[in-house]
Amino acid sequence: MQNITETLMKPLEKFRKEQLGAAKGERKKYEKETEKYYSSLEKLLNMSAKKKEPQLQEADVQVDTNRQHFQELSLEYVCKLQEIQERKKFECVEPMLAFFQTVFTFYHQGYELAKDFDHYKRALQINIQNTRSRFEATRSEVYELMKRTKDTPQEHRQTSAISSEGYLYVQEKRPPPFGSSWVKRYCTFVKEQKILHMITFDHKSGGKTGETESVMLKSCLRKTTDTLDRRFCLDLEITDRPGTLLTVQALSEDDHKFWMHAMGGKEPVHYLGTTYSKERGIDAQLDEIGLSFVKNSINAIEKRGINDQGLYRVVGVSSKVQKLLSLMIDEKSNELDLAVCEDWDVKTITSALKLYLRSLPEPLMTYGLYKEFIIPAKSGSPEARLQAIHCLVHKLPEKNKLVLGLLMKHLSTVAAHSKQNLMTVANLGVVFGPTLMRPQEETVAAIMDLKFQNIVVEILIEQHEKIFGDTPGECTAAAAAAFSAPTRQSKKLGRQNRPLAVYNPQVLDIQTVSVESESVSPALDETSLGSNESVSSHSSNTSYPETPPQKTERPHDKNLTSCEDSSGMCSATASWMNCDTPPSDTTQASSTKAPRAVTDGEPAEESVSLRKAKAVYPCEAEHDSELSFQAGAIFHDVGPSREPGWLEGVLEGKKGLIPENYVEML
């Protein structure tokens, strides 16, 4: 009890001072910057549009600077709160655990109580370690996301297929001579029902909100400064208020575009002397018009620009791309033959085709099948991947499958000319992966899946004739289950487990697609265009998953040896060594049994001939008994070991353990 101050109170007090105290400091800076930003914003929004352009530009620059600083402080404050929430899970609990351990050790008369508590204590130690590990991993991901958000805040604005949210200033008209006032409201627009919910909000009141008003939107029009001396304004026509317009003001030009897109805002577009009605949120549909546009674009690209360097990688000017797409999906003007029309260059056509695919209400490969497509890309043999993706493609709606088949055949033709256009299957996978398949909600995990989206698209390009030309065989549940269960013994032993293998994926990294620019076409990325092999690696000699499977975790106790399996040292090992008896369901089940110690009086295990093996993935040893090696290393005298999931072999004269799923037998 005398140690309670050192073991319990001081660590908790230290956490309170260092972590919570730092959070209070961040909060004060955040509140101060909030007041500064909104004050400058209100001054900007109240500024007359008739002022001189330099004055307007100077005001815009000042507000943008304040906005950027405000966003950075907001992100730092949120990250600090997230860090405290995670830290307290181990920094507050760990002192308690240390204190209880001291008490149980000191009081011998509490031995039985300590014994009963022992299993909870061990479980808690493991949970603390896991929580600490997850904290480190999550923190690095959060800081990386914060950095990307700081660099490109508009690209990481929260979006949803269901609703759009943000602040708007709403004009409230009053009887003469009082004029009108502008009230800041937090608005949520539900896209499907076209309902706009508005909550009065004032940051000066400490976050208190007023009543919620809801209206049903009929149409949205951009309001010009000719009719109102304020920028970024929209006129909303309300269904239950015929003849009355609700005028709202966005916070910036980007915010104005965001609301125009969300509400289906309209404004005129002039082209070749004709005026077309255009929605900022392009109304792309997977209908006959859309199918005609896809065929028209593919035909034009293959006739006019199949050998253009960086085809699909080099982008067109955004305004021209949107104008072309709006023109082609308009029923009145979609008869233009792009193959003979020189008004539109090839990069504009390729960008318009990609924009059409991104603007569909649902990705071409659907939200519902996204996870099912990703699973086989992460594991399994090339044959199993192909079989799974073949089955999934034929689950797509008929129109989706038709357009996807046309596109894959076209991309195969593009890849066939890669010596001229530099667009290999791998490069096309990078470009079209996020375009054709994406999750409904953008998360950190979804960002980590980008590489596997590319792999799926590569397989579709390389195997398009088989996938779209043949009907798949019976797609059983067992085939799908093969991707969700480990293919080797991975049961955790009842001792302190080893950490996972260290894997260096630097040779497999793929550059992501660059963001399309509004002004000019970016320079061609020669490095990213230089790859000649796809990530899916269809060659039978080099076809392996993108990341190596996890090594079987070994106990520290060296007395633990073989599985209780009469077919050899381990059935999984026997399958690697091509024993006479192939592994069956029974032997696979037995390979997951707990290991046991072999006594001196027991007979030796069945002998297996020693062979050579080749490393498929690089690996760093985590124990003196293991071998470190690079991909391509050749092992001699390879045979089964006493530990399930591991082989024993010799590399450069040194004998040691090798993870069996990191090598292929020669």
The confidence band for 205, taking pLDDT boundaries of 50, 70 and 90, is low
Query: Per-residue pLDDT tens for 557-607?
Result: 333 333 333 333 333 333 333 333 333 333 333 333 333 333 334 333 334
Query: Per-residue pLDDT tens for 219-269?
Result: 888 887 777 788 889 989 888 877 678 899 999 888 888 888 888 887 633
- Calculate the alpha carbon distances from 650 to 30, 560, 562, 576, 627 in Å: 60, 22, 20, 17, 9
Phi, psi for residue 505 in degrees, rounded to 5: -90, 20
| pLDDT value of residue 399 | 93
Write b or e for each residue in 267-300: b if 16 or more Cβ atoms lie within 10 A of its Cβ, otherwise e: eebeeeeeeeebebbbebebeeebeebbebbbeb
Mean pLDDT of 281-296: 85
The confidence band for 411, taking pLDDT boundaries of 50, 70 and 90, is very high
CA dihedral of residues 476, 478, 480, 482 (deg, nearest 10):
-150
Between 20 and 281, the higher pLDDT residue = 20
| pLDDT value of residue 481 | 44
Residue 253: how many other CB atoms lie within 10 Å: 11
| pLDDT value of residue 466 | 92
| pLDDT value of residue 156 | 63
- The three-class DSSP label of residue 460 is helix
What's the rounded Cα separation, in Å, for the pair 387 and 475? 8
Does residue 207 surpass a pLDDT of 70?
no
What's the rounded Cα separation, in Å, for the pair 631 and 617? 5
Mean pLDDT of 484-506: 34
Query: Per-residue pLDDT tens for 4-33?
Result: 888 888 888 888 888 888 888 888 888 988
What's the rounded Cα separation, in Å, for the pair 525 and 512? 11
Rg (CA), the chain: 31
What's the rounded Cα separation, in Å, for the pair 555 and 495? 6
**DSSP-assigned beta bridge partners for residue 186:** 167, 199
> Which of 72, 66, 77 is closest to 36 using CA atoms?
66
The confidence band for 176, taking pLDDT boundaries of 50, 70 and 90, is low
| pLDDT value of residue 557 | 39
| pLDDT value of residue 417 | 95
| pLDDT value of residue 94 | 86
What's the rounded Cα separation, in Å, for the pair 414 and 265? 37
Q: Which residues, 6+ apart, have CB-to-CB distance to 398 below 8 Å?
A: none
- Tell me the one-letter amino acid at 656: G
Helical axes 370-378 vs 450-462, angle rounded to 10°? 90
pTM for this predicted structure? 0.39
| pLDDT value of residue 334 | 67
Proportion of the chain above pLDDT 90, given as a percent: 23
Average pLDDT taken over every residue of the chain? 75
Least confident of 322-331, 505-514, 524-533: 505-514
Mean pLDDT of 52-64: 89
Mean pLDDT of 527-545: 42
What's the rounded Cα separation, in Å, for the pair 505 and 452? 14
| pLDDT value of residue 571 | 32
| pLDDT value of residue 137 | 84
Does residue 289 surpass a pLDDT of 70?
yes
The confidence band for 519, taking pLDDT boundaries of 50, 70 and 90, is very low
**DSSP-assigned beta bridge partners for residue 79:** none
Q: 663, exposed or middle or buried, with CB in 10 Å at 0-12, 13-18, 19+?
A: buried
The confidence band for 500, taking pLDDT boundaries of 50, 70 and 90, is very low
Query: Per-residue pLDDT tens for 257-276?
Result: 888 888 888 763 333 333 33
Least confident of 122-126, 368-372, 480-484: 480-484
The confidence band for 87, taking pLDDT boundaries of 50, 70 and 90, is confident
Does residue 396 surpass a pLDDT of 80?
yes
> Which of 514, 489, 45 is closest to 248 using CA atoms?
45
Give me 326's structure tokens.
């709006």
Does residue 504 surpass a pLDDT of 70?
no
Tell me the range of 169-183, 184-198, 542-556 where mean pLDDT is highest: 184-198
Between 157 and 303, the higher pLDDT residue = 303
Residues 394 and 401 sit within 8 Å (Cβ to Cβ): yes
Does residue 440 surpass a pLDDT of 90?
no
Phi, psi for residue 193 in degrees, rounded to 5: -85, -10
Q: Which regions of 33-77 does DSSP assign to beta strands (E)?
A: none
Mean pLDDT of 620-646: 85
| pLDDT value of residue 357 | 93
Task: State the residue for tokens 């549009």.
Answer: 49
Does residue 338 surpass a pLDDT of 50?
yes
Per-residue H/E/C for 129-181: HHHHHHHHHHHHHHHHHHHHHHHCHHHHCCCCCCEEEEEEEEEEECCCCCCEE
Between 81 and 524, the higher pLDDT residue = 81
Between 116 and 474, the higher pLDDT residue = 116
- Calculate the alpha carbon distances from 348 to 85, 261, 298, 318, 436 in Å: 48, 21, 13, 8, 19
Q: What is the DSSP string of 572-639?
A: HHHHHTT-SS---HHHHHHTTSPP-PPPTTSPPPPP---EEEEESS-BB-SSTTB--B-TT-EEEEEE
